Chain A
Amino acid sequence: MSTFILKRLSYTVFVLFGLSILIFVIARVLPGDPARLALGPRAPDWAVENLRQQLHLNEPLYIQYFYWVRDAVSGRLGESLVTRRDVMTDVLEFLPATLELITLSAILVVVLAIPIGMLAGRRANSWFDNVVRVLSYVGVAVPAFVVAIIFLLVFGFMLNIAPSIGRLSPSIVAPPTVTGFLTIDSLISGNMPAFYDAIVHLILPGLALALGPIAQEARITRSSVVENLNKDYILSTVSHGVPERLLTLKYLMRPSLIPTVSVMGLDISSLIANAFLVELIYNWPGISRYGITAMLRKDLNAIVAVVMIAGIIFAIANIVVDLIVAYLDPRIRYVERAA
């Protein structure tokens, strides 16, 4: 099992390095002078030239890459053109908000999609199943930003149930920062009003992000359950008189979850990607919104940092998903060991 993890880790590191090269090359493709951009059009030429030397911009590309990696690993990600601060500072400030949002969405996906899918599969062709099938089919086709806008319209404006902007209402006192997750921080400091307020603000964007994956996972779970219900090993378990609850929650669930969890990786990818749009719509102060601003303003250092962070989050999520699948399906673990 540990060789499995090690292999995955080294492979991930390799891929992330490749990604860094890719994004680095892309960033340097932009015509125009980063030093000039940083100092502005009115700075004297000698100042610009000095900065160019400092940023190693006159050296060949691979040397620049080397300097960049060295700096990045020690936490120096350059300065943001937009905020005029260290990109690292910006990242530390904005990343937790996005992580909190994505984590909540992921939790929503698991907690909603799996039971719905299993129930629909168990009661195949009932009215419940038919409703689930139609809704999930449509749900997959609706892009996250459309959902976000519709939610905003319906819940935010028309019904005025959930607030639509930001992480906390202006009247609530924010808890001291420990993790950056408003929910956890307010629980730690015992600030219950802040906790509820944070949750309420998280719901609309979280649900908007989660709806597509919920539909997808519910579909997969449902069809997996329907397929497995007819498998001999389930029929055999039934024929031995094992009680229904045990059958469903243990013997049916585990094999049915394997395809579901396997797809989770892709769904997390879409959570990360769609966060860019949803954060924009809800004005959520997260790293994705920061990233979009950076992209619109061609803030290269920030763009590179944001893409790498997205890649790292995605990679970690994939490893976790793979571990869970390996736990569910022993065949994978043992084949790895034999190989």
Chain B
Amino acid sequence: MITQGLVTAYLTLIVLLPLAAVVWQSTKGERSFWDAVTDPQAVSALKLTLVVSVLVALVNAVVGTLIAWVLVRDEFPGKLVVNAVIDLPFALPTIVAGLTLLALYGPEGPFGIDVAFSRAAILLALLFVTLPFVIRTVQPVLIELDREMEEAAASLGANALQVFRRVVFPNLFPAVLSGVALAFARAIGEFGSVVLISGNLPFKTEVAAVYIFGRIESGDPSGAAAVSVVLLVLSFATLLLIGGLRRRVTRHDRVG
């Protein structure tokens, strides 16, 4: 009884009330909510954020699955260290992540590659911060996966690619999708790692979170709140999707 009360009160004060204030603010600006979210600069920032986040999700789906595969099925010296390093983006502050990328891939980088203030820089920063999601959701499924199925397929004449496509991938798919959704949600709202390296040029390299920050700084809380509501809805929808996927995965477990 007391526990439930405390939990509910804490969540209400820390999460619900502040978010309600955002929704409320978004409706009481000089412009209507709709005008604020269809402001050309806001639309451009939201579009860029969505496109880059989808790209990030796709790259993570492929590379994340590949890295998880190597970490589970391959043996090489130093594997334990590599496995630990995967979590670095979770542990490293985002502003430091942005600065590290700027040091290597910025104007003073040692390789002469300079992506600073371009859209490629945003992609790079988001790939850095979202790296662990797909790996960490796929890895445990891959460890649990019964290898006899793969051996059976191979002995029936399937080549390596066919085994992966027909046997391994269908089993991994829910985990990949749930990792991808987490990465997507993270990419949509990312600020710290992007803010230094993207240059924040309106209509060009300004992502949604940076746009909101700019609206706050220039004293337009309603404009900031309106775009925030869009991000809030996207986050919530992504979470619902992940929740649905988890339920599917557990049901699958129970049947098997």
* A is bound by B: no
Q: Chain A residues in contact with chain B, CB under 8 A? A: none
